[in-house]
Amino acid sequence: MIKKGRLLIAGIDEVGRGALAGPVVAAAVLFGSQIILNKKAIFKGEVKDSKLLSSKKREQLFRKISQCSFFSTASVSNKGIDKINILKATLEAMRKAVLSLPLKPDILLIDGNMTIDLNLPQIAIPGGDRRCFSISAASIMAKVTRDRLMDRMDKKYPGYNFINNKGYGTEGHICSIFTRGPSPIHRMSFAPLKNGRFFG
């Protein structure tokens, strides 16, 4: 792509699509061609799918990526997800993240098999968070951003262990929903919440 004159390459990814609580968060990370060409020397192969990294390593890479890229994050809340569904919310968070970049990308590389409603050249890459440097970087930025948010939500809504489960449907989290009832940041359109059978 660089040889074809594509100079500003933005990777796009999301985090939180399968969670029961909290927003879906997307990140757009824009690298210039020199960073792409020299990524092995700069990052030494450290940038990979955020799910394959420890939280400590993600935080380290978040700082490093932020120093040599333009990036933005955007989210759609649990209420927005309930209103328009998770797929539309995911694409909307991605769209908002791209529009928040300070520079217009020449091309978007998007994790998954769908493109965004923007008039920009785009390539959807299934499994892109493991195959594409720019998308892997976006997955790290989105993951760290959302994890920090869910850590704050753990203090605001104690009892759901958000600091550890980040809103995903672990056994303990589901048990807390049934005993305490849902919090204001739970997604009521997701099972088992949509069934509405709580003891709390």
Strands (E), the chain: 9-15, 24-31, 70-76, 107-111, 122-125
Check: CB of residue 146 under 8 Å from CB of residue 166.
yes
Q: In this structure, how many other beta carbons lie within 10 angstroms of the beta carbon of residue 17?
A: 15
Closest CA to 78 of 190, 3, 179: 190
Report d(CA 121, CA 171) in Å as an integer. 42
User: Cβ distance 134 to 107 under 8 Å?
Assistant: no
User: Is residue 120 scored above 50 in pLDDT?
Assistant: yes
C-alpha distance across the termini of the chain, in Å: 55
Architecture of domain 9-155: 2-Layer Sandwich (3.30)
Query: Cα dihedral angle (132, 138, 144, 146), rounded to 10 degrees?
Result: -120
Position 200 scores a pLDDT of 55
**pLDDT at residue 41 above 50?**
yes
Angle at 72 (CA atoms; ends 93, 19), nearest 5 degrees: 40
pLDDT digits (tens, 9 = 90+) for 50-86: 888 899 999 999 999 999 999 999 999 999 999 999 9
Q: How many CA atoms lie within 13 A of 124 on its CB side?
A: 9
Q: In the predicted model, what is the mean pLDDT of residues 23-43?
A: 84
- Going by pLDDT thresholds of 50, 70 and 90, the confidence category of residue 7 is confident
Count of beta carbons in the 10 Å neighbourhood of residue 199: 8
When pLDDT is averaged across residues 148-177 and rounded to a whole number, the result is 97
Q: Which two tokens stand for residue 32?
A: 């210039």
- For residue 39, what pLDDT band results from cuts at 50, 70 and 90? confident
In this model, does residue 4 exceed pLDDT 80?
A: no
